Amino acid sequence: MYRVLQPFEYLEAKSVDHAVELLTRLGPDARVIAGGTDLIISMKKRDLAPKALIAIGGLSELSFLEATTEGGLRIGPLVTHAAVAASEVVRERFEMLAVAAGEVGTPQVRNMGTLGGNVCKAGPSQDTPPVLIALEAVLTLRGPHGERSVPMGEFCTGPFCTVVAPEEVLTEITIPPLPEGSAGCYKWCTKITKVDETLAGAGVVLSLADDGTCKDVRIGLGSVAPTAIRARQAEGMLLGTKLEPGEVEAAAETAFTECMPRSRPGYRRHMVRVMVKDAVMELKEKIVGDSTSSDPGEAPR
């Protein structure tokens, strides 16, 4: 049930350092607010009752989306889901992230909600965390004692819980470049609701050697455990193989067992098995096809 918001103090941060200063002074009763699409609802439901909100939405130093010279990406936490989904550089380098961002909530939420806010909420059924885990993203946090970097795979500690200290602010999401012979995709299925919340999601990155052997694979799963997880046992079964159908099916079955769904376990696990298998086979075909089409000796079609 939504209720009238309880009284709170509203403060606008003039810089990241100012936000850190305010958080340090006000303590755990203060919360950072950017788009507010999740926070305000949590406050109306009385799940949260902060005594102070520190607004960072106007900080230009946290709103950037830049390609790196090495082929990676730097994203400020204030970049909206809509901006990520529409970005040409994101679609060119990490299309799976653009796809996931485009599936978050409703158009209104995507236009107001930020990537940083989505990550920091750490909800089990969110779309971007499993993709960022598969892309091995690194998050930069700034607090009163300076900056520290946290791999996305170590960021969430439980449902709606992260390693972010009460006085810290997320300042950057960094995605390293993919190795040659790589491709990635995001697969998902949704509940039939007003917002089509994700029932199960899989972000998969695959890398092949010149002889077609799997040299790297990363499988991030969402909405099938208390937090987004990485299916490392399934990954280990695929490394060094030629990704024959039987090998991929066996790995998908292992991903099935790595899930810990909080509800509808049978269906969620089944969909993980289907999505992992489909993703790996599609990515294999894509990488091989891209390699063939880029061969200068290929006959014109």
Which band of pLDDT confidence, cut at 50, 70 and 90, is reported for residue 193? low
| pLDDT at 124 (0 to 100) | 87
Contact criterion met (CB below 8 Å) for 32 and 23:
yes
Q: Report d(CA 198, CA 87) in Å as an integer.
A: 23
Cross-strand pairs, 138: 151, 174
Q: How far is CA 38 from CA 47, 79, 197, 236, 267, in A?
A: 11, 15, 14, 36, 27
Give 113-127 pLDDT, tens digit per residue: 999 999 999 988 889
Does pLDDT of 159 surpass 50? yes
Q: Report all structural domains of the chain as residue ranges with CATH numbers, in order of start.
A: 9-55 (3.30.43.10), 60-175 (3.30.465.10), 182-293 (3.30.390.50)
Collapsing DSSP states into helix, strand and coil, what is residue 23? Answer: helix
pTM of the model: 0.92
Q: Which of 46-50, 171-175, 193-197 has the lowest mean pLDDT?
A: 193-197
Mean pLDDT of the chain: 92
Q: Which of 19-33, 168-182, 255-269 has the lowest mean pLDDT?
A: 255-269
Task: Identify which of 96, 287, 104 has the alpha carbon closest to the alpha carbon of residue 87.
Answer: 96
| pLDDT at 80 (0 to 100) | 97
What average pLDDT score do residues 130-145 get?
97
